[in-house]
Amino acid sequence: MALIVQKYGGTSVGSIDRIEAVAEKIAGFRDRGDEVVVVVSAMSGETNRLTALAMEVMDAPTPREMDVLLSTGEQVTIALLCMALEKRGYGARSFTGGQVRILTDSAHTRARIREIDGTRIHAQLEQGDVVVVAGFQGIDDWGNITTLGRGGSDTSAVALAAALEADECQIYTDVKGVYTTDPRVVDSARLLATITFEEMLELASLGAKVLQIRAVEFAGKYRVPLRVLSSFEEGEGTLISLEEELVMEEATIAGIAFERDEAKLTVSGVPDVPGIAYKVIGPVSEAGIEVDVIVQNAAADGSNDITFTVKRRDSEQAREILEKLSASLKARDVSLDKKICKVSLVGVGMRSHAGIAARMFKALADENINIDIITTSEIKISVVVGEKYLELAVRALHSAFELGDPQPAISGN
């Protein structure tokens, strides 16, 4: 008998038929004698629908009210899933994040889990019930409902698995596991049987939305065995491996991630003096805007261009901040380009292999793709390119690094 935490994403509970199918799957685990805690997302499209309703009322709703609104999506699916289980003769109890005391900080819309009290869940499991918990939500010290950021149900599941010391956390989604890149962009993307925790962390942080980055962080910190699999088809999925030995056997490149919703700002002609980067970036960060890639180019005439990227939704606000500062910075110009994207190659094997960057740049050059910005770390290389090149760049790199399935005919996804 094992204690398993399972999470079903939006598409997996996107209709009553899908909820019934999930109930069947859970019933199978119960029949084998496993204890099951289930975390569900809202039905697919629901969180977007609720967000759009809020936007009809006002452009910038208060984050507290957004959380009250968005958390309702998951309350619908926990109840429907429990009904589907009860109909089949299985004991089941639904709980909101607040009811099982998923305690978070008060950073509405992007709260972090601080603590989970497993007592109530353990008691319910002892009675032989399936425990169904609303993903994506928690409660702060003052009893306010909080949410964990888009894709946050993954994090709810991993955090619950850590708190309950579960034997495994299974993330059920609409693809068979973690692939070398998004299988919706590259047909020949290959399903990975295992991926190192470090690589998964990097892929998630660079845009692969198959797992929310905080879920991967939790799994690493609390050593939660984590697997991504399909709720639609049988299969072993992908194990996020915490074992060091596996690293040695890994291929040079694990995969390619991309981020569509970035924008690039350039402040040009500022003086090349100490502190200038701070004067440009500081006020943007202080406004709570996350700055991603930064480059600085000094020209022969002693002037400087500073370019950086932010999330597209924050880019107008960043431009306004810089325009207001423009005179005091002695800047020649402030420009914003929203038609960019970031493509990243990730692999722990890069550490021991030279020439990866050159091979990457050649593959992009062969397709006539101009690179705006390059950044590297020990296990990744990212390039910022024009948005229209995204698919082409991902496919070119996928084939240049031979990441595809050797027999795509049977890869299916």
Give dist(CA 365, CA 380) in Å, integer.
19
Residue 260 C-beta: closest distance to ligand ADP, Å: 11
Residue 151 C-beta: closest distance to ligand ADP, Å: 5
Of these partners, Mg ion, ligand ADP, ligand ASP, none, which one is at the site of residue 175 (CB under 5 to 8 Å by kind)? ligand ADP
For residues 97 to 136, the per-residue mask of contacts with ligand ADP, x marking binding by CB under 6 A and - elsewhere, is ----------------------------------------
CB 165 within 8 A of CB 3: yes
CB 212 within 8 A of CB 154: yes
Position 96, amino acid: T
Q: Does 239 bind ligand ADP (CB under 6 A)?
A: no
Structure tokens at 247: 């690293």
For residues 144 to 183, the per-residue mask of contacts with ligand ASP, x marking binding by CB under 6 A and - elsewhere, is ------xxxxx-----------------------------
For residues 242 to 281, the per-residue mask of contacts with ligand ADP, x marking binding by CB under 6 A and - elsewhere, is -------------x--------------------------
Among positions 12, 41, 96, 194, the unique one binding ligand ASP when judged by CB under 6 A: 41
With a CB cutoff of 8 Å and minimum separation 6, the contacts of 59 are none
Give dist(CA 125, CA 108) in Å, integer.
31
Q: Does 151 bind Mg ion (CB under 5 A)?
A: yes
Q: Does 47 bind ligand ASP (CB under 6 A)?
A: yes
Q: Does 42 bind ligand ASP (CB under 6 A)?
A: yes
Residue 6 C-beta: closest distance to ligand ASP, Å: 14
Structure tokens at 55: 């936007």
Of these partners, Mg ion, ligand ASP, ligand ADP, none, which one is at the site of residue 250 (CB under 5 to 8 Å by kind)? none
With a CB cutoff of 8 Å and minimum separation 6, the contacts of 199 are 250, 254, 255, 346, 347, 348, 379
Residue 41 C-beta: closest distance to ligand ADP, Å: 6
Give dist(CA 296, CA 315) in Å, integer.
19
With a CB cutoff of 8 Å and minimum separation 6, the contacts of 262 are 292, 309, 310, 311, 312, 340, 341, 342, 384
For residues 149 to 188, the per-residue mask of contacts with ligand ADP, x marking binding by CB under 6 A and - elsewhere, is --x---------------------xxx--xx-xxxx----
For residues 31 to 60, the per-residue mask of contacts with ligand ADP, x marking binding by CB under 6 A and - elsewhere, is ----------x-------------------
List C-alpha distances in Å: 85 to 79, 130, 141, 154, 317. Answer: 10, 8, 33, 22, 47
Residue 189 C-beta: closest distance to ligand ADP, Å: 7
Q: Does 146 bind ligand ADP (CB under 6 A)?
A: no
List C-alpha distances in Å: 58 to 15, 103, 104, 154. Answer: 30, 29, 26, 29
Structure tokens at 364: 């992009």
Binding site for Mg ion (CB under 5 A): 9, 151
Binding site for ligand ASP (CB under 6 A): 9-10, 41-42, 47, 73, 135-136, 150-154
